[in-house]
Amino acid sequence: MALLMLLANGFEEIEALGTLDLLRRAGVETRTCTLNRTPLTLGAHGIAVEAELCLTELDSTAFEGVILPGGLGGAEALAATQGVLELLRDYDAQGKLIAAICAAPALVLTAAGLLPGARRATCYPAPDFVAALGESYVRAPAVTERNLITAEGPGRFADFARAIIVRVAGEEAARKTFADALLEA
């Protein structure tokens, strides 16, 4: 199963790169894709990342899921990009994995019309974000609800990555990946 991670300028680096690292350690094929016309994307804390794909050249049928890191600027940019919103609606209609962390559930998933609704979700616990999720909001490190995985924020990237690994590669792969990375208590 190949996953796609969307990066927009202002993305939260630890959510994106920590998650990406753990997914790849688990053997989960994950490609990065920028909204920019060139591969370079700048994170919220000034870390530059060279993405593997640009949205303009993306074949979305090559992927079985999408990952949306947070970071206010990055999430706002994702939410303002029609191609991203269409991709999310299409993936959701097909039951493909959609994983969002921090500001992304409240800003991007609501802009796509996927939340609030019948699914539970979490996000960064800022009042405006919680209000955006309405009755869907659950205060938890990470929430898995059907094809949707959401997580609170930067300090929860490992919970987020673990939920994705469990979903696509199984509990044993998650356990081994986390043990090998010394992330198991």
All structural domains of the chain, each given as residue ranges with its CATH number in brackets, are 2-180 (3.40.50.880)
Please list, in sequence order, all residues whose beta carbon lies within 8 angstroms of the beta carbon of residue 142, skipping any fewer than 6 positions away.
122, 149, 150, 151, 152, 156, 159, 160, 162, 163
- pLDDT at residue 58, as a whole number: 93
Active site residues: 102
CA distance 151 to 56: 28
pLDDT in tens, 66-105: 999 999 999 999 999 999 999 999 999 999 999 999 999 9
Q: Is the peptide bond before 105 cis (omega within 30 degrees of 0)?
A: no
Crossing angle for the helix pair 157-169 and 171-180, to the nearest 10 degrees: 140
CA distance 47 to 181: 23
- pLDDT at residue 179, as a whole number: 97
pLDDT in tens, 108-160: 999 999 999 999 999 999 999 999 999 999 999 999 999 999 999 999 999 99
For residue 32, give the H/E element and its range: strand 29-34
How many angstroms separate the Cα of 102 from the Cα of each of 127, 177, 182?
13, 23, 24
